[in-house]
Amino acid sequence: MEQSCHDIFDSIEEGVFTVDLNWRITSFNRAAEKITGVSGKEAMGQPCGQVFNTNICQSDCAIRKALETNQPVFNLPAYMTRSDSTRIPVALNATILRDHKGRMIGGVETFRDLSSLSKLRKSFYRHHVFENMVSKDQKMLEIFSTLKQIADSDCIVLIEGATGTGKELLAKAVHNNSPKKNGPFVPVNCGALPDTLIESELFGYKAGAFTDAKSDKPGRFERAQNGTIFLDEIGDISHALQVRLLRVLEDGSYEPLGAVQSARTNARVVVASHRSLDKLVEERKFREDLYFRVNVIKFSLPKLVNRKEDIPLLVDYFIDRFGQKTKKKIMGLTHEAMAALMLYDWPGNIRELEHAIEHAFLLCKEERIGLRHLPDKLLTEINAAFANNPRTLKDIEKNAILNALRRNNGKKLVTARELGINKNTLRRKIVGYGIEGSV
């Protein structure tokens, strides 16, 4: 019987070890040997912290937490350092070990290696990350696919989308996938320049063109030679400049201020606007002929509020990027913090989300970002939305789950992926919140 129990213990795929009340290891299964790189013979009788070395052993020990609270611990994230000094992600479970009379005699901890899950996640990123843009939204994936098809051509590209949706990132992607990728990428924010300056900025000027023009100055079109010029907020330029720009787009020629001869550019042109150019044409604020010239290939970037399934993916992406930059190890967000992000409407779109995660990343000193690490503005607006009906953090999470289920027509697997949680966790929360059948 004892041998049979030992065989079962060794056949479990998760690492398992037990400790006595002095924290010394009393059993150590085969999976634990494989994951830690320490043999059972070496582990037996040793303090568990010397064998099972994680970053939370001193501050948040799973077995200690189970012993102190008299409650089991589930799926506690941590990083373990193996005997060969390799650092791997693990998930821990712990509970109290009792004898046949129910007396506490120690603790048992199980753990699983998440390295393969981490590799799977990176593989997932490879299929959903394109030139620093991250999405699993169908419309965004179609944009990525179309961009790859047209990048080799020299056609003008029009990008429309609200502020913060990633118009410049998409323009850079066009450049980076074009034959002119080794040339310069020259951005111009047309909306930020007054009419008195934008013409000289775009086309340059010759010495003596005006009082302070003491020497020649190349314009952005000249600087973008053999590369790409990105004209952001093109809808804000004056009618007079629209006429000059139309000529450049038609035959590649322009005249610097004060010049007696035309200059030529071979720069690829990408334009963008946060407003719909066809509506500006209807309002007679944008020339129809220029609109037809720039509207060869048009990409319309959706707002983040319309692609909320991307929020968990974007959050992971930003956390990974900030982690590499700062060498700080944060494993993700608490469920409450993720629920708050899903509930917020993101008027600043992806740029605002990126800044919110950077803010939280700098403040967080734990393994996971919580509500208190998020920007006050975000939390204030969420609270204001429920001012007439005060809600707890559980209410916020319940509401986020309910809304996600409705968006996904009650499909639990799709909803779990959108919320960034396990399907079984979602089922437990649906039952716990009593929202089964509410969709």
Q: Is the pLDDT of residue 157 over 70?
A: yes
Which of 22-36, 83-97, 410-424 ranks highest by mean pLDDT?
22-36
Mean pLDDT within 175-181: 93
Write down the CATH superfamily of domain 123-302: P-loop containing nucleotide triphosphate hydrolases (3.40.50.300)
% of residues, the chain, pLDDT over 70:
90
What phi-psi label fits residue 329: left (phi over 0), alpha (psi between -120 and 50 degrees) or beta?
beta
pLDDT of res. 392: 60
**Which residues are within 8 A (CB) of 309 and not within 5 positions of it... i.e. 6 or more apart?**
136, 137, 407, 417, 418
390 pLDDT band (50/70/90 cuts)? very low
- How far is it, in rounded angstroms, from Cα 337 to Cα 184? 41
Instruction: Give the separation between CA 353 and CA 337, rounded to whole angstroms.
Output: 13
Q: How confident is the model at residue 39 (pLDDT cuts 50, 70, 90)?
A: very high
Domain ranges of the chain: 2-113, 123-302, 306-433
Amino acid 70: pLDDT: 87
Q: Residue 273: name the closest of 294, 292, 254 by CA.
A: 294
pLDDT at 5: 57
325, two tokens: 């930059």
Cα 345–Cα 234–Cα 220 angle in degrees, nearest 5: 120
Q: When comparing pLDDT for 114 and 125, which is higher?
A: 114
Q: Determine the longest span between alpha carbons in the chain, in angstroms.
A: 102
Yes or no: say if 239 and 195 are a contact pair by the CB < 8 Å rule. no
The three-class DSSP label of residue 45 is coil
Give the distance, in angstroms, between the CA of residue 226 and the centroid of all CA atoms in the same chain: 33
With a CB cutoff of 8 Å and minimum separation 6, the contacts of 203 are 219, 221, 244, 254, 255, 256, 257, 263
**Beta strands at 25-28 and 332-333: parallel, antiparallel or unpaired:** unpaired
**Minimum mean pLDDT range among 294-308, 316-330, 339-353:** 316-330
pLDDT(26) > 80: yes
Tens-place pLDDT, residues 281-305: 999 999 999 999 999 999 999 999 9
**Average pLDDT value for residue range 160-172:** 95
Asked whether residue 44 carries a pLDDT value surpassing 60, the answer given is yes
Please calculate the CA angle 231-236-238 and round it to the nearest 5 degrees. 105
By mean pLDDT, which of 366-370, 396-400, 425-429 is the weakest?
Answer: 396-400
The span from the first CA to the last CA of the chain, in angstroms, equals 51
126 has a pLDDT exceeding 50:
yes
Query: Across residues 84-100, what is the average pLDDT?
Result: 88
From 260, 257, 262, select the one nearest 209 (Cα to Cα): 257
pLDDT band (50, 70, 90) for residue 358: very high
DSSP H helical ranges for 296-392: 311-326, 335-343, 349-363, 376-385
Statement: 306-433 belongs to CATH 3.40.50.800? no
Rounded to the nearest angstrom, the gap between the alpha carbon of residue 53 and the centroid of all alpha carbons in its chain is 30
Contacts of 348 (CB under 8 A, 6+ apart): 163, 164, 355
Q: Which CATH class is domain 2-113?
A: alpha beta
Report, as an integer, the average pLDDT of 366-370.
Answer: 84
* pLDDT tens digits along 234-257: 999 999 899 999 999 998 888 888
Nearest residue to 146 via CA among 173, 172, 185:
173
* Average of per-residue pLDDT across 173-194: 92
| Most confident range, picked from 1-15, 22-36, 77-91, 404-418 | 22-36
Domains 123-302 and 306-433 share a fold: no
pLDDT at 2 > cutoff 70: no
| Per-residue pLDDT, 122 | 56
Residue 1 has which token pair? 């019987």
Q: To the nearest whole number, what is the mean pLDDT of the chain? A: 86
Query: Is residue 149 scored above 70 in pLDDT?
Result: yes
With 70 as the cut, is the pLDDT of residue 387 above it? no
